[in-house]
Structure 1
Amino acid sequence: MNELKSLQLGENTIQSFIAAANLGATYVEFDVQLTKDLVPVIYHDFLVSETGIDAPVHTLTLEQFLHMGDNSSTSSQKSRPASPTRSSANNKSSLDPLAKRGRSYSVDITPNASHSDLAERMKHTRTWKEKGWKANTRGAFIQAPFTTLEQMFRELPLTTGFNIEMKYPMLYEFEEIDLDTYAVELNSYVDTVLAQVYELGGKRNIIFSSFNPDVCLLLSFKQPSIPVLFLTDSGCSTVGDVRASSLQEAIRFASRWNLLGVVSAAEPFVLCPRLVRVVKESGLVAVSYGTLNNVGENVRAQADEGIDAVIVDSVLAVRKGLTEREGERNGEASADGVVGGMAS
């Protein structure tokens, strides 16, 4: 039972977004980067390390990127016997543990072994050394292939809005992760993603967001129809750009350039919920993100101050908590205005 409690869908996967939409998320939030051949793909970190090496997303072709996602499958594939309908050549996979097998979409019966295998393979990578974990590997998990922005548009229901986080390193991040050069110029990056969004977006509700202030500026300058949110960790970590150094600077930046609002790390709002009103009184939309939002009391405190949306992982748990709170107040269940926000 303990393993089941820790079961999660992999971050930035089609399955996780469909589940979030079914659980009541109005929007899903995901990270978009470009491959070397200029294809928008969904991936959180700048370095892909699932195979045991640090490979920047922008140095991989689409084929290489998707193949690395396939190779991140672990002992679940090795342990399953080959189907009797396969040819003897294909049945080599049942004897050769290195032979390529199809990726499983179901839970492995030995999730801990799967997790330890992946951890062993990744332990020498920069991401694992710095964090001690990778987004898809915290506890027992349902793994799924890497995906593209085009797949997101084609496979998720039109009623699910997209909060597209544009992932492009700032100057100080180039030094932190040893990116000597970046394969994709900033304007090309923004233009490529915009072209696909306008081609496939249809009537879907879409919001752009980014930690990179220059990306926010370009999105605001290049198109008038899709709102832009400025992401900030509000001083929770050291940054090399003053515009991203605090909640105060984020409010100043977003107001000056007529952005829709600010998406802040939840810490300042939890410590001082009154700050939600400070953002809103500046004429901006207020949104928060982070693990603190998986605690219902923290979300309720922000909701009481008028937070517009919260980005959460535990959609069902937080939604249930707010619905019960609203039911106590109004005699009915209605929490759409808050948890109907976004799921990552």
Structure 2
Amino acid sequence: MSVGGGSHHDSVSDMSERMKHTRDFKEKGYKGNSRGHFIQAPFTTLEEMFKKLPESIGFNIELKYPMLYESEEHEMDTYAVELNSFVDTILTQVYDLGKKRKMIFSSFNPDICLLLSFKQPSIPILFLTDAGTSPVGDIRASSLQEAIRFASRWNLLGVVSAAEPLVISPRLVKVVKESGLVCVSYGAVNNDPEKVKLQVREGIDAVIVDSVLAIRQGLTGQGTASAAPSKPASAAPSGAATPVNSGGHGPPKVPTSTISSLNGAINGTGSH
């Protein structure tokens, strides 16, 4: 869910305050949610989303799966649901319930992207990358250059990059697109309309933002758009996305119908 303005800032601050002791309590041997305020609510399932949301709303389904270096860095247990089982469970829901809904897949985990590419041919896949803005333990996720190489080699639709490198060097947008890939960006930087304009001039396909209205107004000149309080960069892909160059900028290897599907799905993520 994406919420702009002060209410968004308040909700993020409140959540951070409520969760700040979770790791501290764990290290001291307490149950993380046993003291003070804590968050307790059921997760909405993918099945519920398919059944309750209109088919006209497209889905950008981001698959989050832990990587070994992340587990070691955060001192987590190094086990998870087996990779094939995890992907197969999601694909079963998608093909049983997705019907005519426009969808795209995305993930920070290169192996998830590979399995999605091997197991299904019809739904486009985007590779999410920090683009070198934070240290990672997987060479495929270590830089924008490696992300381009990985996405091109495995015929993925495109790359969703942290916005910072694209703002510092806007020509990188064209580097991505000239590799035959869709280029999308995310992160706190995208809450500044001027920073988004730099990327738009280079032909970026879409930007992921916290406040769609503020950025649209900033791009179209309809009033002054104030930068919304931002989430950490790692959380930014869960914000809403808006296509900014939806016509004529598709990569040569991807049919126009696929690009339309991308834009339909991105529009859908900004609707709820």
* TM-score, normalisation: structure 1: 0.57
| Alpha-carbon distance, 1:298 to partner | 1.3
Shift of the 5–120 alpha-carbon distance from structure 1 to 2, 3 Å rule, reads: closer
After TM superposition, the runs of 4+ consecutive aligned structure 1 residues lying more than 4 A away are: 118-121, 338-344
Match status 1:221 vs 2:102: no
Match status 1:156 vs 2:156: no
In 1, Cα distance between equivalents of 2:17 and 2:107? 32
Which string of whole-angstrom CA distances, capped at 9 and with x for unpartnered residues, describes residues 205-225 of structure 1? 111111110000000000000
Give the match for residue 8 of structure 1: 8
Give the match for residue 307 of structure 1: 204
| SS of the residue 1:7 aligns to | helix
Shift of the 269–144 alpha-carbon distance from structure 1 to 2, 3 Å rule, reads: farther
| SS of the residue 1:230 aligns to | strand
Match status 1:319 vs 2:197: no
Identity across matched positions, percent = 69
Shift of the 165–115 alpha-carbon distance from structure 1 to 2, 3 Å rule, reads: closer
Q: Is the 8 A contact 1:310 1:338 kept in 2?
A: no
Give the match for residue 96 of structure 2: 199
Q: Which has the larger radius of gyration?
A: 1
Match status 1:231 vs 2:128: yes
Amino acid at match of 1:6: G
The number of residue pairs the alignment matches comes to: 216
Give the match for residue 174 of structure 1: 71
In 1, Cα distance between equivalents of 2:245 and 2:196? 8
| Alpha-carbon distance, 1:324 to partner | 3.0
**CA RMSD across the alignment:** 3.0
Give the match for residue 63 of structure 1: none
Larger CA deviation: 165-174 vs 151-160: 151-160
Give the match for residue 280 of structure 1: 177
Match status 1:243 vs 2:140: yes
| Alpha-carbon distance, 1:145 to partner | 5.9
Shift of the 246–185 alpha-carbon distance from structure 1 to 2, 3 Å rule, reads: same
Shift of the 337–203 alpha-carbon distance from structure 1 to 2, 3 Å rule, reads: farther
Q: Is the 8 A contact 1:232 1:262 kept in 2?
A: yes
Which string of whole-angstrom CA distances, capped at 9 and with x for unpartnered residues, describes residues 46-104 of structure 1? xxxxxxxxxxxxxxxxxxxxxxxxxxxxxxxxxxxxxxxxxxxxxxxxxxxxxxxxxxx
Shift of the 128–256 alpha-carbon distance from structure 1 to 2, 3 Å rule, reads: farther
Q: Is the 8 A contact 1:255 1:284 kept in 2?
A: yes
Q: What is the 5 A alignment of 1:81-100?
A: none
In 1, Cα distance between equivalents of 2:146 and 2:185? 16
Shift of the 277–201 alpha-carbon distance from structure 1 to 2, 3 Å rule, reads: same
In 2, Cα distance between equivalents of 1:337 and 1:295? 15
In 2, Cα distance between equivalents of 1:180 and 1:295? 38
Match of 2:165 among 268, 275, 291: 268
In 1, Cα distance between equivalents of 2:164 and 2:107? 18
Shift of the 240–115 alpha-carbon distance from structure 1 to 2, 3 Å rule, reads: closer
| Alpha-carbon distance, 1:126 to partner | 2.7
Give the match for residue 50 of structure 1: none
Q: Is the 8 A contact 1:288 1:310 kept in 2?
A: yes
In 2, Cα distance between equivalents of 1:263 and 1:293? 13
In 2, Cα distance between equivalents of 1:120 and 1:299? 30
Q: Is the 8 A contact 1:168 1:215 kept in 2?
A: yes
In 2, Cα distance between equivalents of 1:268 and 1:261? 16
Which string of whole-angstrom CA distances, capped at 9 and with x for unpartnered residues, describes residues 113-140 of structure 1? x976x666533223999xxxxxxxxxxx
In 2, Cα distance between equivalents of 1:188 and 1:241? 22
In 2, Cα distance between equivalents of 1:337 and 1:127? 42
Give the match for residue 229 of structure 2: none
Q: What is the 5 A alignment of 1:63-78?
A: none
Which string of whole-angstrom CA distances, capped at 9 and with x for unpartnered residues, describes residues 274-312 of structure 1? 100000000011010111111111111111111011111
In 2, Cα distance between equivalents of 1:5 and 1:152? 26
